[in-house]
């Protein structure tokens, strides 16, 4: 193929000619040892993207050594060597010494600035080279190892993060790479703002102005900084965050041949800039401060910022403003506190918060190999632990992150990990929304164990429903929330109930003025006192603490509702008392108190013989059967647990605490509620997760109760040496 050969030779010649003719102006990218670059001379990276030389900022005569974009942009400077030590005239020179130092000097031998490489080694052939990445490196010219660098400008960033450049720390060499803003648009000296990776606790990135935190990025959750949008699918760049024993860093790499940089501007604004070839200008691709909620800690400790709300600051569930008046005047800085403080004694639970940017991790502890279950246990063990979460969201979540003390800088956002907040169990019933114990695993195990039970129940329900159909006509017109205010009971009905009205003074007298010595315990809805009436009858007095918003009629109707339930295995209500905001229920006194005192007390549990335990289970079952099927109403208890089973002097079990019980029309078997009430360890998964409750929810709680009665172990507190699970999980 001569013609092709000819073409080839011709082009070779023309290339050679081109090189010959233009070689003086072909820029070099390398400075050999002991050769100098004078002001006015530059070196250019091989791909002609970057250029290094001396420059003056606008409106300034100071000379700086720097790197800027060569072909594009109007000389955007991305790195400055002598930021703090400008030259006043154009007599500066740059050279590479035999020791591998870069030296910027002026007027003879006055060294203005020098790169300080740690080793005092004489290199055979040190050279400085400007790479196409924008990295200015000093290396041994005879070394073939490209990564064997004596010095690199990427270790000393200015205000610009180029693709491939690391922001973070090298724990081995001690190098700390951070972005620092210029002092002003025309002054490259170090300004007020710094963007860096903080390694107190679990690493996260910060933008700081002086000593004031401005913005927090992170912590890294395996995919992205917590609270940031998922950038996995971004076609332009990808983000990498590495954290190991050797180093921690953040960097971004471009996926296509665009030009994009991150710049910390002199005024503290972090911008990702994109070069638009068509308009020949930079445009802001994204900026660090998207909304007010990105301001660090704007809502104070334990406050959540939600940009979709007005005002944006709110307390977390179960928390209230520390200073109500300040809070209401939009001064959120003092933040929120738990409505009931943690004291590490009372029962505590973890409230699951979804869609939350993780709080500041500077006071945190982490372990990359722990599971969520182990994490909960670890948090429970330490009284100052206030929250926990998975460290990494990849592969269904792994690792453990614990927070200590107040939780700072929470932000509501879509698509984030779950955060588990510690709080007293007594706070839980006031919370709306969906709550769930930390053990996801438990939920799954429970679901499988009880699916069998539920199937059986479903069958019996079907039979029951067909029976109900016949009776339905008589039930028609019955409201959903029965009894309602406008439902009237005939006087006959009232008398039927044999309910007594007690005056407050009568109750006060009976209970020794609600003396602490008479207090039997704290029910779900308030304290319970023992009292003795004038006729010598012993009573239990239940003060309803949180029902004060309830009207007279509603309370009265509720009393009647409960009063109409009469069964051997239900606690009998004797009367009620209403005075101002006081709402009091009077029950018969149970001399053996509640079942949990027997079950979970080592000394007393031996008093319970097997036949007795069986009788108790039997009794509870009969009580539930009555509530669900046999009573004139149809009641779902919703809070069956050992402490709500009272024992009389014969050890007959009696179900108590109908405070949150809910009545159903005969044809209703499930309902949905936004407010999940009940007790952890006893509430069924579908109720905990979806708020759906039905008589099945009670059956679930009953199942837990049976397990506890048989084993004498608390479901929630159960632990086995090698299996970190609860009683239910263990049984499975």
Ligand X SMILES: *[C@@H]1O[C@H](CO)[C@@H](O)[C@H](O)[C@H]1NC(C)=O
DSSP lists the bridge partners of residue 167 as 250
Of 280 and 460, which has the nearer Cβ to ligand X? 280
Residue 329 CB, nearest distance to ligand X (Å)? 34
Site residues for ligand X, window 602-661 (CB under 6 A)? none
CA distance 571 to 566: 8
Binding letters toward ligand X, positions 249-268, x by CB under 6 A: --------x-----------
Residue 141 CB, nearest distance to ligand X (Å)? 5
Of 49 and 499, which has the nearer Cβ to ligand X? 49
CA distance 289 to 213: 13
CA distance 188 to 64: 9
Q: Which stretch binds ligand X (CB under 6 A): 101-109, 483-491, 505-513, 723-731?
A: 101-109
Residue 720 CB, nearest distance to ligand X (Å)? 16
Q: Six-digit token pair at 162?
A: 């180029």
Classified as helix, coil or strand, 205 is: strand
Residue 722 CB, nearest distance to ligand X (Å)? 12
Q: Which residues of 410-433 are buried (b: 16+ CB within 10 A; e: fewer)?
A: bbbbeebbbbbbbbbeebbbebee
Cβ atoms of 359 and 403 closer than 8 Å: yes
Residue 88 CB, nearest distance to ligand X (Å)? 4
The H-assigned helical ranges of 517-634 are: 552-563, 595-599, 602-605, 610-625
The residue from 7, 36, 107, 607 that contacts ligand X (CB under 6 A) is 107
Q: How many residues bind ligand X (CB under 6 A)?
A: 26
Cβ atoms of 158 and 80 closer than 8 Å: yes
DSSP states of 289-339 as a string?
--SGGGSTTTT-TTEEE-TTSSSSEEEPTTEEESSHHHHHTT--TT-EEES
Q: Which stretch binds ligand X (CB under 6 A): 83-91, 337-345, 478-486, 584-592?
A: 83-91
Of 125 and 503, which has the nearer Cβ to ligand X? 125
Q: Six-digit token pair at 570?
A: 């239900």
H-run or E-run covering 510: helix 504-510
CA distance 251 to 645: 60
Of 384 and 467, which has the nearer Cβ to ligand X? 384
CA distance 116 to 613: 80
Residue with tokens 């973890």: 350
Q: Six-digit token pair at 59?
A: 């409106």
Of 73 and 367, which has the nearer Cβ to ligand X? 367
Site residues for ligand X, window 113-172 (CB under 6 A)? 114, 116, 124-125, 141-142
CA-to-CA dists, residue 489 to 430, 459, 553, 558, 585, angstroms: 31, 36, 11, 12, 19
Q: Which stretch binds ligand X (CB under 6 A): 87-95, 432-440, 441-449, 512-520?
A: 87-95
CA distance 404 to 96: 50
Q: Which stretch binds ligand X (CB under 6 A): 86-94, 245-253, 566-574, 607-615?
A: 86-94
Among residues 360, 639, 657, 698, the one annotated as catalytic is 639
Q: Is 370 in the site for ligand X (CB under 6 A)?
A: yes
Residue with tokens 């003086």: 24
Q: Which stretch binds ligand X (CB under 6 A): 100-108, 217-225, 497-505, 541-549?
A: 100-108
The residue from 367, 506, 545, 671 that contacts ligand X (CB under 6 A) is 367
The residue from 62, 176, 506, 566 that contacts ligand X (CB under 6 A) is 176
Binding letters toward ligand X, positions 270-309, x by CB under 6 A: -------x--------------------------------
Of 34 and 142, which has the nearer Cβ to ligand X? 142
Of 334 and 367, which has the nearer Cβ to ligand X? 367
Q: Is 199 in the site for ligand X (CB under 6 A)?
A: no
Of 106 and 651, which has the nearer Cβ to ligand X? 106
Q: Is 194 in the site for ligand X (CB under 6 A)?
A: yes
Q: Is 88 in the site for ligand X (CB under 6 A)?
A: yes
The residue from 249, 285, 296, 365 that contacts ligand X (CB under 6 A) is 365
Q: Is 369 in the site for ligand X (CB under 6 A)?
A: yes
Site residues for ligand X, window 380-419 (CB under 6 A)? 382, 384, 404
Q: Which residues of 225-259 are buried (b: 16+ CB within 10 A; e: fewer)?
A: bbbbeeeeeeeebebebebeeebbbbbbeeeeeeb
Q: Is 209 in the site for ligand X (CB under 6 A)?
A: no
Cα–chain-centroid distance for residue 409? 11
Q: Is 731 in the site for ligand X (CB under 6 A)?
A: no
Half-sphere exposure (Cβ direction) of 188: Cα atoms closer than 13 Å: 28
Residue 374 CB, nearest distance to ligand X (Å)? 5
The residue from 135, 153, 178, 701 that contacts ligand X (CB under 6 A) is 178
Q: Is 595 in the site for ligand X (CB under 6 A)?
A: no
Q: Six-digit token pair at 97?
A: 């010494």
Cα–chain-centroid distance for residue 339? 20
Q: Six-digit token pair at 309?
A: 């709300």
Farthest-apart Cα atoms in the chain, separation = 128
Q: Which stretch binds ligand X (CB under 6 A): 369-377, 653-661, 673-681, 718-726?
A: 369-377
Q: Which stretch binds ligand X (CB under 6 A): 106-114, 211-219, 342-350, 532-540?
A: 106-114
Q: Six-digit token pair at 368?
A: 């990359």
Of 315 and 387, which has the nearer Cβ to ligand X? 387
Of 77 and 370, which has the nearer Cβ to ligand X? 370
CA distance 317 to 351: 8
CA distance 657 to 668: 22
Query: Helix axis angle, 695-711 relative to 610-625, nearest 10°?
Result: 170
Q: Six-digit token pair at 185?
A: 């648009």
Residue 125 CB, nearest distance to ligand X (Å)? 4
Residue 196 CB, nearest distance to ligand X (Å)? 4
Identify whether 639 is a catalytic site residue. Answer: yes
Q: Is 91 in the site for ligand X (CB under 6 A)?
A: yes
Closest CA to 138 of 259, 31, 50, 218: 31
The residue from 14, 35, 89, 460 that contacts ligand X (CB under 6 A) is 89
Q: Is 344 in the site for ligand X (CB under 6 A)?
A: no
User: Which residues are known to be catalytic?
Assistant: 639
Give contact residues for ligand X (rule: CB under 6 A).
88-89, 91, 101, 106-107, 114, 116, 124-125, 141-142, 176, 178, 194, 196, 257, 277, 365, 367, 369-370, 374, 382, 384, 404
């Amino acid at each position: 193929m001569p013609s092709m050969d000819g073409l080839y030779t011709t082009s070779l010649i023309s290339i050679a000619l081109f090189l010959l003719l233009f070689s003086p102006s072909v820029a070099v990218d390398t400075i050999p040892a002991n050769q100098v670059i004078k002001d006015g001379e530059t070196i250019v990276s091989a791909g002609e993207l970057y250029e290094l030389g001396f420059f003056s900022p606008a409106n300034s005569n100071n000379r700086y050594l720097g790197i800027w974009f060569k072909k594009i942009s109007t000389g955007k400077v991305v790195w400055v060597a002598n930021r703090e030590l400008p030259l006043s005239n154009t007599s500066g020179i740059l050279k590479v010494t035999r020791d591998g130092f870069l030296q910027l000097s002026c007027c003879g031998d006055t060294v203005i600035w020098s790169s300080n490489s740690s080793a005092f080694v004489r290199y055979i052939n040190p050279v400085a080279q400007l790479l196409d990445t924008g990295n200015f490196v000093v290396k041994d010219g005879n070394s073939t190892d490209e990564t064997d660098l004596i010095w690199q400008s990427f270790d000393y960033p200015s205000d610009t993060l180029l693709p491939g450049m690391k922001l973070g720390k090298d724990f081995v060499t001690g190098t700390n790479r951070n972005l620092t803003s210029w002092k002003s648009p025309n002054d490259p000296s170090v300004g007020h703002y710094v963007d860096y990776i903080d390694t107190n606790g679990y690493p996260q990135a910060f933008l700081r102005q002086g000593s004031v935190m401005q913005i927090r990025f992170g912590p890294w959750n395996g995919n992205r900084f917590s609270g940031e949008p998922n950038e996995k699918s971004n076609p332009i760049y990808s983000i990498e965050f590495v954290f190991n024993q050797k180093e921690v860093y953040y960097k971004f790499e471009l996926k296509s041949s665009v030009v994009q940089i991150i710049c910390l501007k002199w005024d503290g604004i972090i911008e990702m800039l994109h070069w638009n070839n068509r308009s020949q200008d930079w445009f802001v691709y994204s900026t660090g401060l998207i909304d007010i909620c990105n301001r660090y800690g704007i809502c104070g400790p334990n406050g959540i910022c939600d940009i979709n709300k007005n005002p944006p600051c709110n307390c977390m569930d179960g928390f209230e403003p520390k200073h109500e008046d300040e809070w209401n005047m939009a001064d959120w800085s003092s933040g929120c506190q738990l409505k009931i403080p943690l004291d590490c004694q009372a029962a505590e639970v973890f409230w699951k918060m979804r869609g939350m940017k993780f709080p500041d991790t500077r006071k945190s502890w982490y372990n990359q190999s722990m599971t969520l279950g182990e994490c909960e246990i670890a948090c429970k063990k330490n009284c100052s632990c206030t929250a926990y979460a998975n460290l990494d969201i990849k592969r269904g979540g792994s690792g453990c992150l614990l927070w200590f003390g107040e939780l700072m800088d929470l932000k509501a956002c879509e698509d984030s990990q779950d955060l588990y907040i510690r709080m007293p169990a007594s706070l839980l019933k006031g919370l709306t929304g969906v709550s769930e114990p930390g053990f996801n695993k438990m939920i799954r195990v429970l679901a499988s164990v009880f699916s069998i039970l539920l199937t059986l129940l479903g069958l019996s329900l079907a039979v029951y429903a067909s029976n109900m159909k016949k009776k339905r006509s008589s039930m028609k017109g019955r409201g959903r929330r029965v009894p309602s205010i406008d439902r009237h009971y005939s006087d006959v009905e009232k008398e039927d109930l044999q309910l007594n009205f007690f005056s407050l003074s009568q109750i006060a007298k009976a209970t020794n003025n609600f003396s602490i010595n008479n207090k039997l315990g704290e029910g779900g809805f308030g304290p319970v006192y023992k009292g003795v009436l004038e006729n010598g009858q012993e009573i239990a007095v239940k003060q309803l603490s949180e029902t004060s918003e309830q009207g007279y009629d509603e309370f009265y109707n509720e009393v009647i509702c409960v009063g109409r339930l009469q069964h051997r295995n239900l606690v009998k209500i004797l009367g009620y008392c209403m005075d101002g905001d006081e709402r009091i229920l009077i029950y018969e006194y149970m001399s053996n108190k509640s079942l949990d005192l027997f079950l979970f007390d080592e000394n007393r549990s031996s008093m319970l013989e097997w036949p007795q335990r069986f009788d108790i289970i039997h009794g509870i079952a009969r009580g539930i059967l009555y509530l669900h099927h046999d009573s004139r109403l149809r009641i779902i208890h919703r809070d069956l647990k050992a402490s709500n089973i009272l024992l009389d002097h014969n050890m007959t079990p009696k179900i108590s605490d109908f405070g949150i019980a809910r009545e159903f029309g005969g044809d209703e078997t499930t309902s949905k509620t936004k407010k999940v009430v009940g007790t952890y360890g006893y509430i069924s998964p579908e109720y905990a997760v979806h708020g759906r409750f039905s008589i099945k929810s009670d059956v679930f709680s009953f199942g837990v109760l049976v397990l506890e009665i048989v084993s004498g172990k608390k479901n929630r507190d159960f632990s086995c040496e090698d299996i970190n699970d609860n009683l239910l999980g263990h049984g499975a």
